[in-house]
Amino acid sequence: MTRTDILMTGRMLPSVVEALNERFTLHRMWEAPDRDAFLREIGPRIRGIATSTMTGRADAAFLEYFPKLEIIASFGVGYDNVDAHEAARRGILVTNTPDVLNDEVADLTIGLLIATLRRIPQADRYLRDGKWLEAPFPLSPSLRSRKVGIVGLGRIGKAIARRLEGFGVEIVYHGRTRQENAPYAYHGSLVDMAQAVDVLIAITPGGAGTRHMIDGEVLKALGPSGVLINVARGSVVDEQALIEALREGTILAAGLDVFEDEPRVPQALIDMDNVVLLPHIASGSVHTRKAMGQLVVDNLVSWFSGKGPLTPVPETPYRQGAL
């Protein structure tokens, strides 16, 4: 029986590689010494792709290699690494890995918020440097009496909000539309919400539509006691405007898990003492990454078993019955 040809664009967990290798003829793009020659050779046979945000963008030029491509299974809840509209135009469906990472990302967001406000990494360095022997660590800001604005009240945004409820803080949100069943106040203007809150948490999807939506104007509205937490995409925040806002005291502090040009982080941010920086680890636990990888496998297996995709993205033609 002929096995279906699948392309993996970059390294994934060994469990994902093994599972796909058992069921399909798996081609590993990252092992090819000449990427273009490799894709020209195997492209006409490829019917499925396993990819992630860390392994390049699946745009129109990339999709040209694959005339028989049926499905792109992307690792991660965000899928701005795939031109989903172009894929839909070509009749290619796209899947992502939602829900299995909601709790992990929400937990990390709360941890990053507390670490940023209470200056936990700075306190750790203070002790390690022997400074506690000289004087107590300075008093930190607090989460008490703060108002939190969530930019993007999707699945993860709601999980973050539920955790914040336990801290007794007021929660509001901004998004493209008001959610009728949401128990939090809605702000149609991001600038207006920034003016009304002390903490801004970004958990909106990336892409052209949200690029630099948190800019100098929003940061100015957030104000000198304001804290920005970004667990969305680096592109959502104007990084240079953020650096200036932190440097000039326009806002108090920031906690960042994502950056515009990962893994390259501006030295200006690294040198600042009022920023907590993480290397894009919001979903980075063994448990959650395994679950995400398994969903990549399950989407491909389900599709090629004739059962349809498990988690198609909104742009995919499958939902409109075109496949």
Residues designated catalytic: 233, 262, 280
Angle value at C-alpha 251, between 158 and 154, nearest 5 degrees: 15
Q: Residue 249 burial (CB < 10 Å; 0-12/13-18/19+)?
A: exposed
Helix (H/G/I), strand (E/B), else coil: 209:
helix
Q: What's the token pair of residue 161?
A: 């909000």
According to DSSP, the residues that pair with 46 across neighbouring strands are 5
Report d(CA 203, CA 112) in Å as an integer.
13
CB-CB contact of 148 with 201 (8 Å): yes
* Backbone φ/ψ region at 275: left (φ over 0), alpha (ψ -120 to 50), beta: beta
Backbone angles phi, psi at 275, to 5 degrees: -135, 140
How far apart are the C-alpha atoms of 54 and 280, rounded to whole Å? 11
CB 269 within 8 A of CB 256: yes
96: exposed, middle or buried (Cβ count in 10 Å: 0-12, 13-18, 19+): buried
> If DSSP codes are grouped into helix, strand and coil, which group holds residue 229?
strand
The terminus-to-terminus CA distance of the chain in angstroms comes to: 24
Distance CA 201, CA 143 (A): 13
Nearest Cα to Cα of residue 49 among 19, 20, 14, 85: 20
Instruction: Please answer whether residues 257 and 280 qualify as being in contact, where contact means their C-beta atoms are separated by less than 8 angstroms.
Output: yes
